[in-house]
Amino acid sequence: MAKTRMGRPREFDEETVLDAAMRIFWDKGYEGTSMADLASAMSLSPSSIYAAFGDKKALFQRAADKYAKDAADFYQASLAQPTFRALIHDLLENTVDYLTTPGHPRTCFTLGAMPYSSETEPIRLMLLEVRKRGQAALKARLERARKSGDISRDTDPSDLARFISVVIGGLVIQAEGGASKAEMRRTARLTLRYLGF
């Protein structure tokens, strides 16, 4: 019976190199990121990247999954707030803080890394799916708020979730355009005012 060959143990921390890949995709976009960029950012040879993660598309999928998980940490914390008022306050404040974190690109990964050529349609759809999952989670939370009487029964959870997503997307665009944290906070406060808070 043939012996199973044991591969060499990995000499890198997977989370660390995935974070590096996520950051370079985030900063340069999917199409603008080369394997040389990835090798430099991850401190790995292209052959090591292929062996550990597959091709560029497969690595991007892993990076997108990591982003979704990391971003979900603050997003889920906001959705766990006991009232809609607390939820929207927390979500907008956390979004501004996240977008202005030192060392982070001043945009959302799902927008910053978005490709636009027809050859990369599967990547575009992948990023759209990440955004749809976030909006679906928000809609589900708003449905519970309506059932409990926390928001008006006349409120459509789908419409409200879409509105909040549009505001968050607007904050992303402001951040990318160089808006200051104070300016973005004023935008968040105006949103709260129009929502009656």
For the segment 114-159, what is each residue's pLDDT rounded down to a tens digit? 777 777 888 888 888 888 888 999 999 999 999 999 999 999 999 9
The confidence score (pLDDT) of residue 5 equals: 44
**CA gap 164, 78 in Å, rounded:** 13
Residue 164 region, left (φ>0) first, then alpha (ψ -120 to 50), else beta? alpha
Question: Which range is least confidently modeled, 47-56, 109-118, 160-169, 181-190?
Answer: 109-118
Q: Per-residue pLDDT tens for 10-29? A: 577 888 999 999 999 988 88
* Token digits of residue 189: 């406060």
In the CATH hierarchy, which top-level class contains the domain 64-194?
Answer: mainly alpha
Domain ranges of the chain: 64-194
